Structure 1
Amino acid sequence: MTKCLQLEDGESCNLFYGEWVPHSSGPAYTNASCRFIESPQNCMTNGRPDTDYLYWRWKPYGCDTPSFDGKKFLDGMRGKHWALIGDSILRNHVQSLLCLVSKVEDATEVYHDSTFKSRRWHFPSYNFTVSLIWAPFLVKAKIFEDDDGVSTADLQLHLDTLETNWTSQWESFDYVVISTGQWFFKTAVYWENGAEIGCHSCQNKNLKEMAPEYSFRKALSAAFRFIISSPHKPVVFYRTWTPSHFENGEWFSGGTCNRTSPFKPGEAGDRESDNKMWRIEREEFDKAVADKGPSGSADRLRLLDTFELSLLRPDGHSGPYRTYHPYEKGMTTKVQNDCLHWCLPGPIDAWNDIIMQMLAKD
């Protein structure tokens, strides 16, 4: 389930367990050198005053992860197509990847949908393509909310039907990073076999109350079943749950994330809901590998288990700096904090360092 790096002395090293250590060199790019950072993640431009969060690197216990090498990556990806499939954290992730790779060659955007949530870029000298595909639940969903998370109606989730915007393109992908996450905590009506079966946190509906763990497990099971049974076998990285770091409330109740340094191992405290979802996805991943059946194959399915290393970085979020200079009218201004998405550059650049290492050792 976990990815171990084989060392020269025969010992192995788990890339996903370690600590954040000081890194005086700082990030591989900045907001000035990369044009792919979208405003809500552009913490430096938006006026974040502290910079210590930029000077850490992830170090697994017993080994090291070299920094992402954009030239080496592109040389190995000539003629290939990468897809990142999931929610806005995947959008956050693709910005990091583009920033790292565009140090070698700038990407040309060749497609976007009407909302700019699904997009595609091309690196012409390498004939390398990166696609971002918006599928926050992986299964079919009707969503009625704006970019600030304000809903006008309940989500409708069809738990036994995958979103076709990613399954219909599957055969064109050589590498896939796929994930889902915090959207499952939202109020939603659940459907199976064309009928409503229940609801999570709905008001004034005569429907069975169901936990988000149910819908999360069903969606993962459907996605893994498709991946394992498909005749086309890209290398697939399933990226695990991204924890939030809200304190003193949540998104809509005044939650904040004002920390300026990483947690040390053991300092993060009990995060029951995040831990529960993390356990579910690891169980479903293991089940997919074990129960692949006679016609299936999990040989190219990888677990990108970024949960622990992300959990240790409460300082890496946009916080109030998801908007431009939020306190220019005074520090008492009421400001929406984002304690889920990540500043760029920032901690999630380490996700790409780890992917690079996994590719090198495969």
Structure 2
Amino acid sequence: MVKKMELEWNPFSLHQRVSCAKFILCILLIGLSVRLLLFSSSVLCPFGERPAKPSSSSSSSPPTNASILTAPAEEGPPKEKCDLFIGEWVPHPAGPAYTNESCGMIEDHQNCLKNGRPDTGYLHWKWKPRDCDLPLFDAKKFLESLRNKWLAFIGDSISRNHIQSLLCLLSKAEEPVIVYHDEVWRSRRWRFPSHNFTLSVVWSPFLVKAEVFEDMNGASSKEIQLYLDVLHEEWTSQLRNFDFVVASGGQWFLKTAVFWENNTVVGCHYCPGKRLAELGFEYAYRKALRLALLHVASSGFEGTFFFRTSTPDHFENGLWSTGGTCPRTRPFQPGDELPLKDVETAMKRIEMEAFGLAAARARRTGVDLRLVDSTYMFLLRPDGHPGPYRAFQPFASGGENATVQNDCLHWCLPGPIDSWNDLLMELVTPRK
């Protein structure tokens, strides 16, 4: 019988908390290895600027909570552009630009206020980069800048979560028209007619070919079959149509899966009783990311391709299916002890290694490949998840002590994920 896997990892996965000292050492080593691969933080440059050549100078500085989770900064003379991903969450009394009542495109599982979440403090924070200001999202400016363009999100339900936020913000300037959806409404496409702007979400949680045997609630009838040397045609067949892409991976690789290469089963992740080599999720994630990003770097893609790093969950006292909760109501602040997990360390290491290899190739081929390093930014927001309010009035029948399913992975809408669109606007729209 196949175990139900709902974005969880198993006893053989790395999920125990580790000390900050161990985490810092690991990420510093990652930074060193990426530097050796000629990785450059010029991936943070705004739209229209190609990544610059890496500097040959060298320096060192003590690590901070921000630097251990972000890409190593390009060395050399001070730059006009700051690192958007090193900063903190600061109070924002005005709150979100939309509400759950003004936007009808929020899915029920992320509609925390409608579902009865009683606190609203999580709505009143905004991301502030350390060395510069980040303007709030401007729907009219965004649509005008992307007139006649096509923006696509490629990934899993976190990408879908993000695009719902973007749709809510853009609908303040123009109402989107849905023009395509697949049979289960996972891949979708919208048009903004007066701007000739197209927005898509492409469901591809692994970026490589996969056979998945799950219902919409995540219950599996068979192990996922993952083909690590075959890219998913759902996104590769459309890539040349897009002007901007935001792609990501991560959480689905923690599920039970059997791995294929060269049409042969080579191992698995958490498949007891199968008599297969236990290769772990790291093996598959590394193979898939390298294949996908190197493909983009070699594809001749003429747009801008952003790779977004994974976002950590905030389950405490358990996991998705073992009673984990996320009761916090404020962001972590500088000096707070951060809940770092081995699995997040491993994912970030794999992402930086894969991106470093692809970025080096992209510089040779002229492909505009950039990093959106949001891991640290969202590690600081344990308060922004639906928690028990993924369902309508979860305590109505059993009272406050009732046992209910918590979601500490996705994000409430409105909520912290709206700040991703502040970043997106900065990255794709030129400043005057």
Q: Secondary structure at the match of 1:46?
A: coil
Alignment partner of 1:301 out of 354, 364, 369: 369
**Over residues 144-190 of structure 1, what are the superposed CA-to-partner deviations in whole Å (9 max), with x where a residue is unaligned?**
11233221110110001011011111111111010011111111100
Instruction: Summarize the Cα distance change of 1:338–1:208 in structure 2 as closer, same or farther, 3 Å threshold.
Output: same
Pairwise CA distance, 1:234:
1.6
Aligned to 1:17: 86
Alignment partner of 1:316 out of 378, 384, 405: 384
Aligned residues of 1:87 and 1:180 also touching (Cα < 8 A): yes
Aligned to 1:287: 357
Alignment partner of 2:394 out of 326, 329, 342: 326
Separation in 1 of the partners of 2:302 and 2:295?
A: 11
Q: Secondary structure at the match of 2:383?
A: helix
Aligned to 1:51: 120
- The percentage of counterpart residues that share the same residue type is 55
Whichever residue aligns with residue 321 of structure 1, its letter is Y
Alignment partner of 2:269 out of 200, 215, 219: 200
Aligned to 1:189: 258
Pair 1:107-2:171 in alignment: no
Pairwise CA distance, 1:291:
3.3
Whichever residue aligns with residue 98 of structure 2, its letter is Y
Aligned to 2:21: none
Aligned to 2:205: 136
Separation in 2 of the partners of 1:293 and 1:263?
A: 37
Aligned to 1:35: 104
Query: In the TM superposition, what are the counterparts of 1:329-340 in structure 2 within 5 Å?
Result: 329=397, 330-340=399-409
Aligned residues of 2:142 and 2:429 also touching (Cα < 8 A): no
Q: Secondary structure at the match of 2:164?
A: helix
Whichever residue aligns with residue 306 of structure 1, its letter is S
Pair 1:213-2:282 in alignment: yes
Whichever residue aligns with residue 224 of structure 1, its letter is L
Separation in 1 of the partners of 2:339 and 2:396?
A: 33
More deviation in 233-242 or 262-271? 262-271
Gaps of 5+ in 2: 1-39, 47-77
Pairwise CA distance, 1:232:
2.9
Equivalenced residue count is 358
Instruction: Summarize the Cα distance change of 1:119–1:5 in structure 2 as closer, same or farther, 3 Å threshold.
Output: closer
Alignment partner of 1:230 out of 299, 302, 322: 299
Higher strand share: 1
Whichever residue aligns with residue 193 of structure 1, its letter is N
Aligned to 1:97: 166
Aligned residues of 1:110 and 1:120 also touching (Cα < 8 A): yes
Separation in 1 of the partners of 2:183 and 2:200?
A: 15
Gaps of 5+ in 1: none
Separation in 1 of the partners of 2:162 and 2:244?
A: 15
Q: Secondary structure at the match of 1:303?
A: strand
Separation in 1 of the partners of 2:371 and 2:253?
A: 20
Across the aligned residues of Structure 1 and Structure 2, the Cα RMSD in angstroms comes to 1.6
User: Would you identify which runs of 4 or more consecutive aligned residues in structure 1 move more than 4 Å?
Assistant: 3-6, 9-12
Separation in 1 of the partners of 2:339 and 2:393?
A: 31
TM-score, length-scaled by structure 2: 0.80
TM-score, length-scaled by structure 1: 0.95
More deviation in 130-139 or 232-241? 232-241
Separation in 2 of the partners of 1:154 and 1:31?
A: 37
Aligned to 1:276: 346
Q: Secondary structure at the match of 1:131?
A: strand
Pairwise CA distance, 1:293:
8.2
Separation in 1 of the partners of 2:366 and 2:407?
A: 39
Aligned to 1:145: 214
